[in-house]
Structure 1
């Protein structure tokens, strides 16, 4: 097994018992972190000097509809109603397995390029087993760690999730590949009948899978109470957005161990509602982060972290002025918290806390090197803030499970021009099915 010694960098471990940043050496042995210390003696290990860089755990994009990558920017000016009409009403049925493959391949490669090593691939356009297999193959080909969240296009509230497909995937590539796990992207209580929601959540619980559902812009439907009565909310339940949920419901869900994923740029821009960051923090929890749809917003998770941080600070500042008549003396939320949303909390949301999200001995070697010598980051007085201020050009190197996926600011993959050409052709063909106007779905 390969051994790599990373030295010279400032390291942000995100471990609760360590400083925010420290000068450490990291020994990677195979796919895991074998040692972490100020000085490590590792004969025969390859030595990589990362002086002037900051090493962080790989970012976790907990919610991304990767299959939409070929439609980048097409919906930048769409409202949520227009998005549902044009994409889910007019476009999804025209996706072929090849479209799913190239969208997931190109989207996953872009995530690696942006410093994301784990993605929650919310794949709710699985029209057939062939579509599912093609989407999975795109993730595997990219070399990213992924939770493939199997979903279907929107359907009748009484139609249950196709469990034969879940079991087929569990017995196939998910079982055979170390970087891939399976979850269920459900219509959930907001868009299914109470009976169907209970059956779907129960099926996920019986299989030990993460179950995740959208909720935005409305009071809880009767299905929420049905799930609570059945005792089906727990640590493997993930709610995306959550906007519109009252504080008492959020408190109840947090007490049950439920995780939340916010997608702040898209939520604020398309009209989902206000991100629930503040409600979660007041309940003693924290959000994970996603970028949602590249149809409307960029896929850079650090951008999402900055937006989430600035938005919540703005709300808190306004509340403080209304209460006291003056400015706040201290920030309500810190940069370290925002970085945790993009790492630790993302791992928790996807059921991967024991593998990723922190730099610790025994954890998977998912690491990102940020070049803090660049003009836009230098001098890096505060390493945590420097990481949040980084952009794609600052992501120098990315390692997934001990294997380099990006080095010297370039992806280590061949055929990128062919990937881009195939993505362009796919997107242009799919967009021909979208009408200039349409009634909200």
Structure 2
């Protein structure tokens, strides 16, 4: 089995959840609703999910990690650090061995390029928050662009519960125009006192958004460390149920491997409203061949794409346009506007998809068997260890439920990600109570 092409793709995929890379022409297959409904798990195979294929990929990744760890300090090692820490986090391997390299480079980040800062600060947040925190306070004044600063601030908030007041004082002094920057706006909202109680969630579940279009609702816990639950609302406004009348639900993970806020690159799936513009097959090897649902944030999608209406051609995005999709009771609830801020911050390609990542990498976590990646919404899949053929796919089941709920061949509709307070994985009982209260 020749896995070199897959190994090359794996290196590309570690940087984003993108379905296509700029180096590859857009040759992906796109699906109509009817084509999506007709698919079976047995239609798909992925050699790297076989026992032999996965072992080869992991062995190569570990060899690459160790080769970088063996490099002497200098430009060559520095250049390899972003990919090194992506592999360390993805494979949950050599975390202790890589720690000294991260801690050694952090004090030098003030003189580095912003993208290098972003990559290394993301590694600090993902893997070494407590150890990195003392090094970040003297570094913060040297971080002159908002993205690295916001990542460092998120790391300090994770490591030091008392950091909020100090950061809230620092942001306006270092960035006087912070209110014009979506990342810093999100950070300042996080630093503010806790928001009031959310409006009634049934109001949101019953809201028409735009009549005649289906909706996926992804109920998630704050912090995203538990498995969420996806529901599907049909084009007629009723939630999908099976032949016995039981509510359709499907487990779904909205946690990124970094655990960063949703306005930051490779952060968690932002809370709020997305549009769905179809389904396609990715080239990203961590997604695999099962068709993803193509969800887009505001601004990533034009207003016309969000409206799914030709009459909106040329319309310009504003917060008022985003608010127009929400019921009146939710328009002043700032957390539901994280998706709006994420779009303003330039996030994109946050898809709903399956996974070829081995769940064993995350065994023992609260979200197991989930496999976090770069901020997409991920549903579990089971692959045959002998052949690499798809055996079962929670994502395909969800995508087909959505396709069946649609009255349009192009799969146009919406995705709503909303957080539900509580402990543990979101339950069917909770979801049913909300749907019942919404009268849907």
For normalisation by structure 2, the TM-score amounts to 0.28
- Indicate the structure with greater strand content: 1
Q: Could you state the TM-score of these two structures normalised by the residue count of structure 1?
A: 0.28
